[in-house]
Structure 1
Amino acid sequence: IVSVSSKTYLFGRGLKGRFDTSKILEAFGGGGHSFASAVKLENVSAERLKTLLVQILKGEDPAIRVKDVMNYPPFALREDMTVEEALISLAERNFAGAPVLDQEGRLVGVVYKKVLLKVAKLFPSKQVKDFMRTQFHTLSPEDFVWDAEAILSTYGEKLIPVVEDQKLVGVITRLDLMQTLIKQTEPLKPSHRKVQLPKEVEELSRVVEKICQELGFKGYLVGGVVRDILMGRRIWDLDFVVEGDGLKVAERFAQHYGVNVHPFPEFGTAHLKVGDFKIEFATTRRETYPYPGAYPVVEPASLKEDLFRRDFTINAMAISVMEEDFGTLIDYFGGLRDLKDKLIRILHPLSFVEDPVRILRALRFAGRFDFKPSKNTEKAMLNALSMHLLKHASRGRLLKELTLAFREEKLLDILKLYRQYKVLEELIDGFQWSQDLELKLEKLKEVLSWHKIEFPDKKLEYGWLYLVILLEKVRGEEFLRDMSAPAWVRELYHTYKEQAKEVIRKLHQAKKPSEAYLTLKGFNEPFYLLLAIEESLRPKIVLHMEKLSKLKVDVSKFAGLKGKELGRAIENEKLRLMDETFTLT
């Protein structure tokens, strides 16, 4: 490699018949014989060229061509859109500019948000074509990234449309090139971290890779599964995204394993199950929110945009499942760093404004992992809460997220965060935290820890019991109905609210085991656990659950009795045995 002024020359020599230098230099647009080749590049440093050359010699596939780094499918504005409409479209996607198409879909210009903002007050109804640039540069997918760098640095443009056969196929921006340049100018070392996938996950991912290769697509593991693999947690759910058509990949994947697939074409997603794994396939997409907390409007996009739309950096990483870079971690936004620093960080300042439901998600992950919101994330969260955006968000989505929180093992930690940020006050009419309520929740945790140990076979969704306590002093029936709480939970709430005080009074008065038994008889186990919050009653409740309710009597002595007489005799004998065998403490 020889560098002269702005030019860099790469010469290759190889043993004839043993090593083909021309194939290596073809990657840079060079040529020659198999044993002697050369290429001349403009504005590419010798150190950068060296880094790229070594990656190619190692069999890696560095981003050299525009097609390797461009965003596709591209987002574009129509020339007949008003300035106001165009600004809304750009703001929803957090874009600084976009190509402009005419009614036939032909590329006719480029427009920037900064220009539209300047004219928006005076001419909001004017059309985009009145303010777009009609003289601009374009590139083809096969051009080199340094050609794009030269255009952006020389002419001050912020984006370049990528055109093939006179059709807009992509967009390349300064950010794309800056990230690529950083990777290509680092000292010689692996530019991406390789991740070892769990065995079963790797097997499934290899099938996805094969299908994507056949269809000409690219596939990636994304989101929570990547986070959990990096944290060494057990994997149950797999999310794959496909640059191409996720539904097609899902169909073939389902055929391979002989399972049913459930497609959702409007969202470009499909769900299926293989063994213990719940698997989702999606086409890479961008999302926009018509109003805070609304269900998103979806459109196809690149992997980078797909990751950028996600909630937090720790959930915005991907792992390639393609053969050329299988297991390579793709981390545009510092998610790995935030995992190490135990931080929850949003990807852009308006994240909570666009989707206030993310406030609940942030606190759920913070509680689950013992993480903290970053300073800017906390500031944005407090700002969104002060605007009461949770009250305007989709009730269904909020309650669905709340239901997920009540299924978490570390629910109490999440509830403490809810109290710190006054979240439940926004969601439950009339709700207020108190010292007594917090003490009750702590005592319930003690009771449930005991129950898990003593009754490991009893499968109870403990989170609902916490919710019953939280709703004790408000009108919670409607809230439970909105949450689609199970029938047993709604019944428990009603029983606890209407009868708990009287049952507690009778239990305090009970002097004999039989009296405690008769007081508690007919209620269910979740009700007993709520009563056991009162420590002075726990011995009686524990005795009932472990001994009294399971007491059996010898019915042979009542051989001559039938029907109600037999039932009364058995019950009286049971009461007698209780008082004879056990004592209340």
Structure 2
Amino acid sequence: MTGKNEKENRPLTIITSHVNADFDAMASMLAAQKLYPEARVVFPGSQEKNLRNFFIQSMVYLFNIAELGELDFSAVTRLVLVDTKRRNRIGDLRRILDNPGLEIHIYDHHPKKDDDIPADRECHMLTGATVTILTGILREKNIPITAEEATIMCLGIYEDTGSFSFPSTTERDFKAAAYLLSRGANLNVISTMITREFNPEQIGLLNDMIQASRHYTINGVDIALTGVTTDNYFPDFSFLVQKMAKMENIDAVFALALMENKVYVVARSRTDDVDVGEILGQIGGGGHPSAAAATVKGKTIAQTEQLLFEALHAKINPRRLARDLMSSPAIMAAGDTTCKEAKALLTRYNINALLVGRDRSGNSGFTGYITRQVIEKALFHDLDTIPIREYMSMEISHVHPDADIVEIQDKIIGNKQRILPVMENERVLGVITRTDLLNTLVQQSRPSNHEFPRLNGNASNKRSRVVVNFMRERLPKSILDTLCQLGEAASRLDCNAYVVGGFVRDLFLYRSNEDIDIVIEGNGIEFARTFARESGARIHTHEKFGTAVIIFPDGFKIDVASARMEYYQFPASLPVVEMSSIKMDMFRRDFTINTLAIQLNPGNFGRLIDFFSSQKDIKDKVLRVLHNMSFVEDPTRVFRALRFEQRFGFTIGKLTSSLIDNAVKMNFFKRLAGKRVYAELKLILKEENPAPTILRLLDYDLLRVIHPDLIIETDFKTLLDTAKKVTDWHDLLFIDETYERWAVHFMTLIRHCGLKATREICTHLTIAPRYAKMFGENRLSTEKQLSLLERRKRMTHADVYNLLKGFKTEMILYMMVCTTSRMAKKRISHYHTQLRNVTITISGKDLLKMDIKPGPIYSKILQAVLEAKLNGVLRTREDEFNFARERVARIRTKQPEISVDRKTGGNSAA
């Protein structure tokens, strides 16, 4: 036992590399083991598929491997890192870095960075492969290499240099490969491992990558960005990115793939102008200037793209014109804004100076600016309610969008100006701050060859194509003409108009949808007023939200909104709305499939804009949120997600599903106003078949949002299916009357709730009193009548009529949903289709002619006539008169009243 402990406590050296180890990493670990023969080799995570197959099948015996789970981290005294020097690239092994007295040796070919792991001994060269460095050391030390070891090491060089075709390949790589060939490296084995044949799955994914690619030309460099999604991890993704770069002849490509719950980013570059290793280093990845990768957790593809573009902004050498440096839209405040309100604006947008405009839009120019320091001094002196125009700086210069860096620098520094407006045609397009200028000047001074120009607000990551012919095929001429007129009106008003959202989504789903939503880059309400006036329509506006509804004489409606962004002051609150651009307007929406926009302006009519790969998700039938705070900000989107999933036959993406689970677990719905839940629930119940969505609510434990004690019995699914069948049956009768179909489904949902729980539900959801009465007292009364219909064996038609008269269609259908009795169903359906429409032709005037004194006797006689007619005793008007006369005669002679024998008179309703 003592011997074992001594062995366990012996100083331990381990050799490791980065997670997702490739051939270069494996070859480098093998070479390092030759330099440290006492060391154990540890893989920090998964290896690439090709590597695993090769490794397991043939060469495992060459390595002195230790399993990660069996390793005593505290016993490690020396750590040998190969092919990496980044803390975030070695997985759980980064815990070893905190071991006291740890000695670190690094062998790597990646460019150095400030946050690299500090080493006691480091061998670094800019070669095509790390194993090239180690091969040179082994050669210098005359350490023998077997043919099998030479094969593995040479394989690492071939793989990481792209068979000596990558720009990162150096003379040392050729020399190292030549030496390994002299040591017996087998080129047949290497060729077999390097050459990969496409399988159908790879071909399909590569096609998706090419179809989804979006191109940008930055300083003459062609950069492609593409994004795909797979449910499972795809090990050959980097191989496909390399193939795509070659096939499409792209200078640089950035490919994103959402696999399971992670976004993998792979980049390839064939130009010195683009250092993809440095760019992906900004989002937690790394690599060479020509090849790099990153893994992003807890983000959607849209969010990761945003991170990537921010990294490009930071590393691209910007064009030095005002339009490229400015931040847009400019954050402005009107002169009557109070100091307290201005402080909130500065804090919300994390800025230090605020432009003061004649109004908040910027269309009327500006009058000055005010700084954070001035505001804070004003608040210190209790001047919270004083308008900022009282303390703003009014001496302020501005520049044209085409102003160069010299003019910008002169006006900001020369005038000691904190903020510089960028203006064109009396409109404020954006602002340049002193920080913007400082960052540009610092980037100018860097001697890097791998800086990128900064993307301006207009060079957004959108993919566009013209779909005019598709619109002509799919849309009625009247709708197409209206869209053309909207675009022409927008151009006359010098603004951009887009048709967006569900209308465009359903266009590509081949579903009919004439609910037109128009977004205006500008003042949407002013546009709607002008268009309505020109087309003879009415308008209804919502100034708070910047929206309007145009109502045509024939009742057709168009919704118009200003392009806007929203922010939420706390979870589940209503959004605060501000003016913005079409991209920001799309980004605030719920799901990627709702972010398509078609421009309507002449010259660009029919240009489809897809910022967030909506077309790809529509094609794949996947529902995804745009950012991972989506359900935190607006939990009602959860209901919408499940409704869309079932309506379109889509699947909710894995990340989106986990975000729903999180929203339920964190109970973000508790702050949600009941009427907002009711609005979403009502939309679900109005679906053609609401049952599947309601069952999905049950899957996510969301029915408790309606009421915590909502009772779900074992017959719940059967009830929902029956409700669909019953309402479909009624609709097929083509009865010329309206009814609330959704109300039948709602009553089915709360079927097992008592009056107290029902009232609590109606109060919580703020249901209108007339519906609250229907769902409560009327529903329970209906259930009592239904019990009589089910129990009584024999009933005349008149009995059924008297039992059901007065009930609305919703209640009649609800009874048919609830009953399992065939006899009761038959009685209810006969009443609904036949009996309820039975009337008699005689009236009180006819009884008056029979010299009957008006009074309660009239209603008794007429009721008796009706019951006789319901039971089939009376057929003609003459029959009714004769029956009434006989009834009157009996009354006058005080004979027993006429009644229909329940056993023999009339047709049995059963």
TM (norm. structure 2) is 0.47
Q: Distance in 2 between matches of 1:71 and 1:461?
A: 51
Residue number in structure 1 paired with 2:654: 375
Cα contact 1:468–1:493 (8 A) shared by 2: no
Which one has the largest radius of gyration? Answer: 2
Deviation at 1:263, TM superposition (A): 1.7
Of stretches 316-325 and 407-416 in structure 1, the one that deviates more from structure 2 is 407-416
Q: Secondary structure of the equivalent of 2:544?
A: coil
Q: Distance in 2 between matches of 1:175 and 1:398?
A: 43
* Residue number among 231, 253, 272 corresponding to 2:550 in the alignment: 272
- Are residue 196 (structure 1) and residue 196 (structure 2) matched? no
- Are residue 479 (structure 1) and residue 790 (structure 2) matched? no
Cα contact 1:161–1:168 (8 A) shared by 2: no
Deviation at 1:382, TM superposition (A): 1.0
CA gap 1:565/1:351 in 2 versus in 1, 3 angstroms: closer
Cα contact 2:346–2:354 (8 A) shared by 1: no
Residue number in structure 1 paired with 2:496: 218
- Are residue 256 (structure 1) and residue 581 (structure 2) matched? no
Q: Secondary structure of the equivalent of 1:299?
A: strand
Deviation at 1:164, TM superposition (A): 3.4
* Residue number among 592, 605, 623 corresponding to 1:344 in the alignment: 623
* Residue number among 303, 306, 317 corresponding to 2:585 in the alignment: 306
Residue number in structure 2 paired with 1:448: 727
CA gap 1:181/1:510 in 2 versus in 1, 3 angstroms: closer
Q: Distance in 2 between matches of 1:163 and 1:493?
A: 62
Residue number in structure 2 paired with 1:318: 597
Letter in 2 for 1:324: G
Of stretches 267-276 and 415-424 in structure 1, the one that deviates more from structure 2 is 267-276
Of stretches 340-349 and 99-108 in structure 1, the one that deviates more from structure 2 is 99-108
Per-residue CA deviation, residues 158-196 of structure 1 (Å, 9 max, x unaligned), is xx998338996237998956994978xx9xxx8555551
Q: Distance in 2 between matches of 1:540 and 1:181?
A: 65
Q: Distance in 1 between matches of 2:708 and 2:872?
A: 49
Q: Secondary structure of the equivalent of 2:520?
A: strand
Residue number in structure 2 paired with 1:282: 561
Name stretches of at least 5 consecutive residues in structure 2 with no aligned partner: 1-216, 225-249, 251-318, 357-366, 373-397, 405-418, 437-452, 853-857, 874-903
Residue number in structure 1 paired with 2:807: 523
Residue number in structure 2 paired with 1:539: 826
Residue number in structure 2 paired with 1:170: 430
Cα contact 2:331–2:354 (8 A) shared by 1: no
Residue number in structure 2 paired with 1:398: 677
> Which aligned segments of 4 or more residues in structure 1 are displaced greater than 6 angstroms?
68-71, 84-88, 165-168, 171-175, 556-559
Q: Distance in 1 between matches of 2:642 and 2:461?
A: 34
Deviation at 1:210, TM superposition (A): 2.1
* Residue number among 425, 430, 437 corresponding to 2:704 in the alignment: 425
Deviation at 1:570, TM superposition (A): 0.3
- Are residue 564 (structure 1) and residue 859 (structure 2) matched? yes
Q: Secondary structure of the equivalent of 1:349?
A: coil
Q: Secondary structure of the equivalent of 2:527?
A: helix
Deviation at 1:232, TM superposition (A): 2.6
Aligned residues: 478
CA gap 1:574/1:267 in 2 versus in 1, 3 angstroms: same
Q: Distance in 2 between matches of 1:181 and 1:303?
A: 10
CA gap 1:69/1:415 in 2 versus in 1, 3 angstroms: farther
Per-residue CA deviation, residues 419-446 of structure 1 (Å, 9 max, x unaligned), is 1112121232411322223322222222
Residue number in structure 2 paired with 1:242: 520
Cα contact 1:405–1:414 (8 A) shared by 2: yes
Residue number in structure 2 paired with 1:58: none
Deviation at 1:309, TM superposition (A): 0.7
CA gap 1:206/1:179 in 2 versus in 1, 3 angstroms: closer
Letter in 2 for 1:397: R
Q: Secondary structure of the equivalent of 1:577?
A: coil
Q: Distance in 2 between matches of 1:179 and 1:102?
A: 21
Aligned residues: CA RMSD: 4.1
Letter in 1 for 2:582: L
TM (norm. structure 1) is 0.71
Q: Distance in 2 between matches of 1:416 and 1:207?
A: 44
Of stretches 322-331 and 513-522 in structure 1, the one that deviates more from structure 2 is 513-522
Name stretches of at least 5 consecutive residues in structure 1 with no aligned partner: 1-40, 52-63, 91-96, 110-137, 145-159
Of stretches 476-485 and 214-223 in structure 1, the one that deviates more from structure 2 is 476-485
Per-residue CA deviation, residues 111-157 of structure 1 (Å, 9 max, x unaligned), is xxxxxxxxxxxxxxxxxxxxxxxxxxx9953479xxxxxxxxxxxxx
Cα contact 2:498–2:520 (8 A) shared by 1: yes
CA gap 1:575/1:254 in 2 versus in 1, 3 angstroms: closer
CA gap 1:248/1:454 in 2 versus in 1, 3 angstroms: same
Cα contact 2:758–2:775 (8 A) shared by 1: no
Q: Distance in 2 between matches of 1:76 and 1:373?
A: 39
Cα contact 1:236–1:277 (8 A) shared by 2: no
Letter in 2 for 1:73: P
CA gap 1:367/1:569 in 2 versus in 1, 3 angstroms: same
Residue number in structure 1 paired with 2:666: 387
Q: Distance in 1 between matches of 2:347 and 2:658?
A: 25
Residue number in structure 2 paired with 1:206: 484
